[in-house]
Chains A and B, each alone.
Chain A
């Protein structure tokens, strides 16, 4: 009785064992070469060279370390497509085939039995920025969040984007490392909520309170912490940058981080019964500061704890709303009158460019148009609107306020509207699409939105002259810059990357005139900086995209400055 199930079991195990033995060991490949350092061109020992499989099959990594003569060998590699990385502490990681530091690499296809023996990878020494944060009395500030920031273009605005975060220790010391050459800014936030969980983990519920205290010393009323930028200012516009060359070790970047005096914003909302909130317009501050908010029953309001900076004061009362821009400096702001008004609904008609206006087009209902404050306000994404099938819609705006309109999505579930783009938005004679929307009491305002459905596309090749002969440039960024009228619209710019043959392809392009650029080395988004673009304007390849056209262009690689 007992033997029977046991027998069955043995059978199944046997069957499975046979299966695992069946696959033959495939012929293997190998990769060898040399690691050099960029500064001396000399061999670099102790670098880790890694092959990571990227063809979507088994995740697999092979690694080897370069020897005293900088050579490495990776053996017994299963055939497939791999990216090759080299890294060593104190150097910037490099990917084989990358066109610039930190850029993407080019995959290596390893066939069965193949041996690659002359792979050369070059590692650039990494930079370091270190220093100490003290408070006004000269005491070290521990557990403060130090951020390394780089200037980038975001929605057409130049902002500082954090690229690395470090925390100070009890001596106030920080060290930011593994840095690429470039221009950097620094900010410090004593304590800071993001470090709460990471630095100190509470062991029991009872310790939670201590945990809060330790990470961010509590402050008495009237002062608050805000990010302080090197060399010691709360005003991002006064921040000083640090220029780091390859491998530089920039020590002694010390600065003072102290709580700053907060201010009151007082005023009145005529009519009362309103909620009043103050939203920071500084994108860096908006991420770390909670909006101040208060309510008023009979009209007067008093918002306390306001750090210096630029703000949007927003009032809401049932259907009424209003806003004001404020610059809070070193004094309280009093006697503000925040008048709430009824939003104006501007009758709007939306139509497809290539369709007769049937008065009933269900596709119109799939369009989502977003009304965004201009300039944009962090944390306020604006309202989204959809037309009726007859094309009717209404943008709800406040008199005197500026807005931009963009197409959020046009998803009908089947992708038929995938190529939709805004062809034009007009209010009377005004070009709302490119110049923005502002209502100033015009008589019988009316907005016409035209949705185009026949975008063009562009393909091309990036070349560079090698001995007077054009050679394709692989793995480089191509940027499509719209004509001057459209340059304030971030969505009007497009980017693509060239393939192994130096070719690129851009789809769903709104018809119009463009310039095409390919830079050897460019900061992401720099092309939205008018000052940057002015240097290159004449060197762009001009192309005109027409309805449904397929254009082709050859772009010359522009050297970095």
Chain B
């Protein structure tokens, strides 16, 4: 007898697999963890990770089944992505230091290991790490070796505390308070979120377990939600780093809100004189600015708490953007509209998708002062495009400067965009023109991700045409790799020129129909650099960060910077586009700092010059720039 039955929601984990036969595990590592003044640290979690395993070709680590159950459980519970899980799953062992700060790892097989120490109140530290940004040194273990006296020194973390008050000096509760750090990248400094906490009923906050360094602090009051039904769950304010996600796809349109709309964050406040001001909560940076770049950074020292970092959070006056959306024929038409700040962050007060009315009118409320793109996609009622009748232009982009009053008469007109022509020039003979490796396709990628991108196929004569390029700032990339991939078989992009000018780190700027052409120069020329990095005692500096920096006139091209990793003997080997370079090696350097001209001035004389020629292999020996506490 068969019955209908559906089994629902009974969880079962994957069956645990049995690990294969293992080589002998007779080696061991013993050591201790100390604080900055040499005191022994107890309760430190020390993890031992196998970097490479000589017994298994390819260096595959143990399977998750080898993990201690507590670690496996943490991995299963945590929300970290699969890739991170896999990398952690190679962890071999876990130990906690005793009252004397000692740890022991027994029953190890030969291999190269990495040691990480973590403890509440201290900065997580890798074995061999110098400074906050230093890299680890591997612990190389021979079969049966009993390694003793491995020492890891940890630095106590710092804290920032203060109060957030309103215009009357009253404490504000449930304000999100963020700690940010500047991170370097090829486009300059950007603020990266480190931590976010919320204030209590006294307006107090405390950001803690911060690595020593310079922090920007911001406060974001919660959106006004007074309804009792939401106060119980509304304990976390929305993060100021939320993404504006605008997808130029049909399903985004179907989900679009019916407009015109005001942001629900906007409050009409009745002023004492009876007038009404429209306000929205905004992020205020210490000591009291809405502009992140004008914030005063707080220097956090090891083991200290910076107190009294108080911020008065004021709502910002907000205004409206009104306008008209037009389809490809110039007739008013409904569009899905997005307001995208040119700064790249989320629009304050009014972010995301809106919909204009069927007569094309729209109104976006709650907009703070700043520069914006208003993008629109025609809400197409037509059927699927056929080859005979392609869809009419559907995207419109307009620019808006929001000052201290409403902006009206903004036109977002669908157009086909601009046309940008270009060609690929090949220097030298590309040895193996396999179809997958040669430059077949070039792309224009906007710096602000929700803006439309463009792509073009490269014809056999090297020419290409971008259709539908809208105003914006773009990076040029190719199908094989981002600008600057080095591959002897396909050649590398040596240079990109636009209107005769070399394209820099800030990409190309399109405002109007461009006059100039884009030229992508692909070169078959490749050299090699082999080197060794040593410390001042002439020992291999395997924890060094090596950066190969192009000559000053080419430093706006991030692709010419190379950062090879040294091996345990301090050796490295890398393919380089021919040219003149300097090689730097640091024990402690903030990632990307080498793109910063001010930073580089300090170290320019420490670089080892090298000239790479086509087909040559150059050798170099570099002394690491030591960590200065």
Contacts and interface: CB of A to CB of B under 8 A. Distances in A.
A and B: real partners? yes
Interface of A: 5, 8-9, 12-13, 16-17, 19-20, 46, 48, 50, 52, 58-64, 73-76, 83, 85, 87, 89-90, 93, 95, 98, 102-104, 126, 128, 135, 137, 139-143, 163-165, 167, 169-171, 173, 175, 177-178, 193, 196-201, 203-205, 208-214, 216-221, 223-224, 275, 277, 290-295, 304-305, 316, 345, 379-388, 392-394, 396
A11 to B, nearest CB: 10
Contacts of B173: 89, 177-178
B68 interface: yes
B13 A139 contact: no
Given A292-B69, A383-B6, A383-B7, 4 more contacts: A16-B360, A196-B79, A220-B96, A394-B3
B96 A383 contact: no
A218 B409 contact: no
A13 B95 CA distance: 72
Interface stretch (B259-267, B452-460, B485-493, B564-572): B259-267
Contact of A212 (B4, B43, B78, B193): B78
Contacts of A89: 170-173, 201, 203
B9 interface: yes
A381 B276 contact: no
Contacts of B270: 62-64, 73-76
A12 to B, nearest CB: 6
A185 to B, nearest CB: 16
Contacts of B77: 193, 290
B312 to A, nearest CB: 15
B201 A143 contact: no
B140 interface: no
A396 B5 contact: yes
A83 B172 CA distance: 23
Given A73-B270, A198-B236, A214-B209, A142 B121 contact: yes
Q: Which among A5, A83, A304, A384 has the highest number of chain B CB atoms within 10 Å? A: A384
B274 interface: yes
A203 B194 contact: yes
A201 B176 CA distance: 14
B267 A63 contact: yes
A219 B361 contact: no
B95 A175 contact: no
Contacts of A394: 1, 3
Contacts of B83: 205
Given A8-B330, A12-B330, A213-B45, A170 B9 contact: no
B552 to A, nearest CB: 28
B389 interface: no
B324 interface: yes
B136 to A, nearest CB: 10
A414 B601 CA distance: 75
A142 to B, nearest CB: 5
Interface string B165-199: 00010111100000001010000000011111100
28 contacts: A12-B326, A12-B330, A46-B170, A60-B268, A61-B264, A63-B269, A73-B270, A90-B201, A95-B226, A137-B42, A169-B159, A193-B78, A196-B80, A198-B196, A201-B196, A204-B591, A209-B87, A209-B88, A213-B45, A213-B116, A214-B124, A220-B95, A275-B15, A290-B13, A290-B77, A383-B7, A385-B3, A394-B3
Nearest to B95: A220
A13 B411 contact: yes
Contacts of A73: 270, 274
Main secondary structure of the interface of A (DSSP, over half): mixed
A30 B236 CA distance: 33
B209 A220 contact: no
Interface in B264-283: 264, 266-270, 274, 276
B6 A75 contact: no
Nearest to B260: A58
B13 A293 contact: yes
B206 A385 contact: no
A73 B271 CA distance: 9
A203 B170 contact: no
A210 B5 contact: no
B233 to A, nearest CB: 9
A6 to B, nearest CB: 11
Interface of B: 1, 3-13, 15-16, 42-43, 45, 47, 68-71, 73-74, 76-80, 83-84, 87-88, 94-96, 116, 118-121, 124, 157, 159, 168, 170-173, 181, 183, 192-197, 200-203, 206, 208-209, 224, 226-229, 231-232, 235-236, 261-262, 264, 266-270, 274, 276, 322, 324, 326, 330-332, 359-361, 409, 411, 591
A340 to B, nearest CB: 15
Nearest to A291: B11
Contacts of A139: 43, 120
B324 A142 contact: no
Kindly list the 6 A-B residue pairs having the minimum CB-CB distance in the complex, ordered from nearest: A213-B118, A170-B208, A177-B201, A85-B226, A210-B124, A218-B45
Nearest to B88: A209
Contacts of A221: 68-70
Nearest to A31: B270
Given A98-B228, A212-B80, A217-B43, A385 B201 contact: no
Given A46-B168, A50-B224, A139-B43, A76 B7 contact: no
Contacts of A193: 77-79
A16 B78 contact: no
Nearest to B46: A218
Contacts of B269: 62-64
A83 B261 CA distance: 20
Contacts of A13: 324, 409, 411
Contacts of B331: 12
B4 A386 contact: yes
A164 B330 contact: no
Contacts of A388: 4
A221 B10 CA distance: 28
A59 B262 contact: yes
Contact of A141 (B15, B74, B76, B120): B120
Contacts of A63: 224, 267-270
A137 B193 CA distance: 33
Contacts of A87: 226
Nearest to A210: B124
Contacts of A205: 83-84
A199 B3 contact: no
A17 B79 contact: no
Given A210-B118, A385-B5, A61 B197 contact: no
B114 to A, nearest CB: 10
A5 B170 CA distance: 57
A469 B118 CA distance: 71
A62 B268 contact: yes
Contacts of A9: 330, 411
